[in-house]
Structure 1
Amino acid sequence: AKGLPERLIRNRYIIRPSLPPIITNFSLAVIGSWTGAIISERVFNWPGLGTLIYQAIEALDAPVIIGVSVVYAYLLVLTVLFLDVIYSYVDPRIRAMIRGG
């Protein structure tokens, strides 16, 4: 292809266009593992936020439920922010939108 080195072809035409869906799926998996940890902690009786929220729900402890929900919301926001930063680094179209081009 155009006499370009194989490494350049692989990086420019194969890896770079395929990275955004991979990054998206990875970030969704991270978010899913945080929410799945709630169930794992309860099943295996491990201490953590999952056990705390289950005990708070059973005791109808609204401030703790709200606090844990806020913690999970912050984790979600940080993950999405990290995803956007990585996207702007990987995809030149997004980088151009940020710069106003």
Structure 2
Amino acid sequence: KGLSSRTVERRHILRPTLPMIVTSFLLLIIGMWTGQIILEQVFMWPGLGSLLYSAIQASDTAVIVGVVVIFGYLLAGTVFILDFLYGLLDPRIRVGLAGGRS
């Protein structure tokens, strides 16, 4: 009797752990972006990683800064998505104006 196992899994197991799962997933994505630089060099694929590697070898500062800025924007966008998802997934987190209670 009582709650079904599916309801227990969703309400009491999945819901409290979902923010941690989303955080781990997005950290995995960020790790894949940093690993792509090495992966592109190993398999000789054209992309941002090979562009960054060749720019470092040629001391091309403008290209190095551009690639770093692109990776920075990807990281900032990922963190923004993570904050938005936290507001949707965890009812304890409120999205609103800063500065205290209203």
Using the TM superposition, give the Cα deviation of residue 11 of structure 1 relative to its aligned residue in structure 2, in angstroms. Answer: 1.6
1:24-43 matched pairs, under 5 angstroms: 24-43=23-42
Amino acid aligned to 2:95:
I
Q: How many aligned positions are there?
A: 98
1:98 pairs with 2:95: yes
Q: CA RMSD in A?
A: 1.7
Q: What's the secondary structure of 1:98's corresponding residue?
A: coil
Stretches of structure 2 lacking an aligned partner (at least 5 in a row): none
Q: CA deviation at 1:28?
A: 0.5
Counterpart-to-counterpart distance in 2, 1:59 and 1:92: 51
Distance in 1, matches of 2:62 and 2:17, equals 43
Instruction: For 2:6 and 2:54, locate their aligned partners in 1 and report how far apart those are by CA, in whole Å.
Output: 54
Q: Per-residue CA shift, 1:67-90, capped at 9, x if unaligned?
A: 000000000011111111111111
Gaps of at least 5 residues in structure 1 are none
4+ residue runs of structure 1 moved beyond 3 angstroms? Answer: 4-7
Identical counterparts, % of pairs: 52
Give how far 1:9 is off: 2.3
1:35-70 Cα distance to aligned partner (Å, 9 max, x none): 100000011110000000000000000000000000
Question: Cα offset for 1:10?
Answer: 2.0
TM superposition shift of 1:12: 1.4
Task: Name the structure 1 match of 2:71.
Answer: 72
Tell me which amino acid in the other structure corresponds to 1:78.
Answer: G
In 1, Cα distance between the equivalents of 2:46 and 2:62?
A: 19
The residue aligned with 2:84 is 85
User: If each structure's helix is expressed as a fraction of its own residues, which one has the higher value?
Assistant: 1
- When normalised by structure 2's length, the TM-score is 0.88
Aligned to 2:51: 52
Shift in Å at residue 34 of structure 1?
A: 0.4
